[in-house]
Chains A and B, each alone.
Chain A
Amino acid sequence: MSDAARIPLLVLGLGNVLCGDDGAGVMAIHRLRRGWEMPAGVRIVDGGTLGLDLLALLAVSDRVIIVDAVRADAAPGTLVDVTGEEVAPAVYERLSPHQIGVADLIAGASLVDRYPSEVLIVGIVPAMTDLRLGCTPDVAANLDALVDRVVAELGARGYPPVRRSVPCGPSDDGARALGL
């Protein structure tokens, strides 16, 4: 892969938008895209529940911030993060509701010697992952905080996003996530 095709910093939203808070990460990256302009070098991708299909992206990314619903012993809506050597075991132990896909993705990148130099999971604790388009109130109330966390992490890595004066795209998180 030539350097031109490399992605210096990938922001990858994961989760199923039809399953309540499971889709929080995807909702968050669409909200990020709507409200913030990204500097060159950052690519935002809605990975849904694609799992191994995302290997092509991960393999050309230098650093990755995964935004996802993460189960933890904490109140719904709490922000959590997982990094370094905790990433692989964390996703392997059913951390995320679609863990099989994420575990395969992480392992796959490692197996083909394409593991990014940094993988950070910025997560939010879900309350409910049953069939529902959109997050529950506790999680929805903290989606902006989740977006702010991603913005801060981007800034800390030398890629500060710029807040848009006029948000772009529909205001409904679900419609944005589905591309409607």
Chain B
Amino acid sequence: MTHIVVDPVTRIEGHLRIEAEVENGSVTNAWSSSTMFRGIELILEGRDPRDAWAFTQRICGVCTTVHAIASIRAVENAIGAVPPPNARVLRNLIIAAQCVQDHVVHFYHLHALDWVDVVSALSADPAETASLAQSISDWHNSSASYFTAVKARLKGFVDRGQLGPFANAYWGHSAYKLPPAANLMAVAHYLEALDWQREFIKLHAILGGKNPHLQSFLVGGMATPVDPSSQSALNIHTIAALKSLIASAKDFVRRVYIPDLLAVASFYKDWAGYGAGVGNYLVYGEYPLTDGKDAPLYLPSGVIRDRNLGKIEKLDTSKITEQVKHSWYTYGKGDDEALHPSLGETKPSYTGPTPPYERLDTSAKYSWLKSPRYDGQPMEVGPLARMLVAYGSGHAQVKALVDGALGKLGVGPEALFSTLGRVAARGLETALLADKMGDWVDELAENMGRGELRIHDNEKWDPSTWPEQAIGAGFHEAPRGALGHWVSIWRGKIARYQCIVPSTWNAGPRDAKEAPGPYESALLGTPVADPEQPIEILRTVHSFDPCMACGVHVVDRAGAELAKVKVR
């Protein structure tokens, strides 16, 4: 048996460590550990709940909008504020834009390098690449001369030693299956996606102001004025600009991302047999279609257990708890307790080894993440969970997209429960949202047309209108999955704040019953051809799109070499 340590897992935000045991070329046991503490909750106590979003927005650079959304929803829920229709539509647009952009960046810039061998692209024949590209899409950049230029550019980087994000990978590994032409096509689209994302992000500037951190959130609504006749508000011109950005997103996703996804997947169909994980899925749901409580959601909430797509359970958020038996925290009433987040505690208690260390004692506490559970069971969250719950709920557009992709790959729905299923679900969700965003822009335009310009519910703004004690929860489907914020307010100030972020659901450690979390479970059975180069482990972990920055804090790795800098 070989013991493998992957630390840090690369190409993610934050710090994640995976330990695995490999026997006869496949993983027999795995542990996921987040080795850095954050504890954002502690900084919020005693503050004005209306400001909380500005703090939570800074938890992580990858997920700024998502923590702002969850926070304002939690506070609105506590104090009873109801955002008007324009605020709902603007939020839907911001949330969907974040998701579309994030998924494209994840696929091309974080995950693709697990499947695409960049060095092999250097030996590709541009003419062959052109015929491959033309056979899967009518995208304009597909001529032999175009791919010749991309190849020359890539060669320039390699020759100058400027590999940047392409450094430190397992190039030439036997697990890479794409022919050189497919590798070159993927590298070309990696570069195009970089250009595309910096255009698309302008959508956030339109909706949230020039500052890269959106300043337009407000408890009770939004701060972005809507007025067709004002230069400084969302007006007829911004509607046109939004439409054009969404059209370009739709085009890129339909003609580049999805064809690439299917082309890559067709070479890696064996990965539909690995990485299934816990088989339980949880979705809070997202994109309210009407206003007020219990509004229907474009992506429905629900819970799936044991991969049973035939039975979508109604979500009951009172069944959510967090455990700390294997986490570096203590609970007042003992570490075998399971606490609902509204009563959650964040008391750090590090009992792990002093870094640098070779192994964690996984029989004791071994992670800074807690173990969230639903009705006592581990749950996977994220795009796959969302697509499965929607599929099982009979969502027409999701069904059409999923069945279409399964048909093209010649596999059945059981293939969804896998590493490849997770990658595919992310792409299909991107296509779904890029299609849907236009409807919300139309709704905004219609509202403007009939003089509905409200963006904010002022009625509950003044804390004197709040009860002495108020408790609320805000739920949101972030790109990476179900995000919940729980807030308790006492005499106008935050008394308690708890977040359960998607990567805590997915990357959390074993619970009090020793049941493994989704990463730990998904790694079982993963093949590992070379324990020195465990690219297969990265494939499954990256398929969840880890973002550890919210659960944890990043500091220098002990012993990491400091680069040479000039000291003044």
Contacts and interface: CB of A to CB of B under 8 A. Distances in A.
A42 to B, nearest CB: 15
Nearest to B154: A111
30 contacts: A19-B553, A45-B211, A46-B212, A48-B58, A53-B61, A54-B212, A55-B197, A71-B562, A73-B562, A88-B164, A92-B563, A93-B561, A93-B563, A94-B556, A95-B563, A97-B554, A97-B555, A98-B61, A100-B11, A101-B62, A103-B164, A107-B164, A111-B164, A111-B165, A111-B194, A129-B555, A131-B42, A178-B54, A180-B51, A180-B54
A148 interface: no
Contact of A95 (B11, B194, B565): B565
A81 B213 CA distance: 26
Interface string A71-100: 111100011111000101110111101101
Interface residues of B, number: 53
B40 interface: yes
A15 B115 CA distance: 32
Nearest to A107: B164
B567 interface: yes
Contacts of A93: 560-563
A140 interface: no
A106 B164 contact: yes
A78 B194 contact: no
B554 A48 contact: no
A16 B213 CA distance: 12
B194 A110 contact: no
A103 B564 CA distance: 16
A157 B368 CA distance: 46
Given A48-B212, A98-B61, A90 B565 contact: yes
B109 A52 contact: yes
Q: Tell me which of A53, A59, A131 has the highest count of chain B C-beta atoms within 10 A of its own C-beta.
A: A53
Given A18-B55, A111-B194, A131-B42, A46 B202 contact: no
Given A52-B109, A111-B157, A18 B43 contact: yes
A162 B93 CA distance: 40
A19 B194 CA distance: 29
Interface in A104-160: 104, 106-108, 110-113, 123, 129-133
A131 B58 contact: no
B64 A74 contact: no
A56 B40 CA distance: 29
Nearest to A90: B563
A179 B215 contact: yes
A103 to B, nearest CB: 7
Contact of A97 (B213, B556, B565): B556
A81 B568 contact: yes
A123 to B, nearest CB: 7
Contacts of A129: 553-555
A175 to B, nearest CB: 9
A122 to B, nearest CB: 10
Contact of B59 (A18, A52, A111, A130): A18
A92 B195 CA distance: 22
A100 B564 CA distance: 18
A16 B60 CA distance: 8
A27 interface: no
Nearest to A100: B13
A107 B165 contact: yes
A52 B565 contact: no
B242 to A, nearest CB: 16
A109 to B, nearest CB: 9
A88 to B, nearest CB: 7
Contacts of A107: 162, 164-165
B212 A178 contact: no
Contact of B564 (A49, A52, A53, A86): A86
Contact of B64 (A48, A81, A113, A180): A48
Contacts of A110: 157, 162, 164
B51 A71 contact: no
B167 A18 contact: no
Contact of B212 (A17, A47, A59): A47
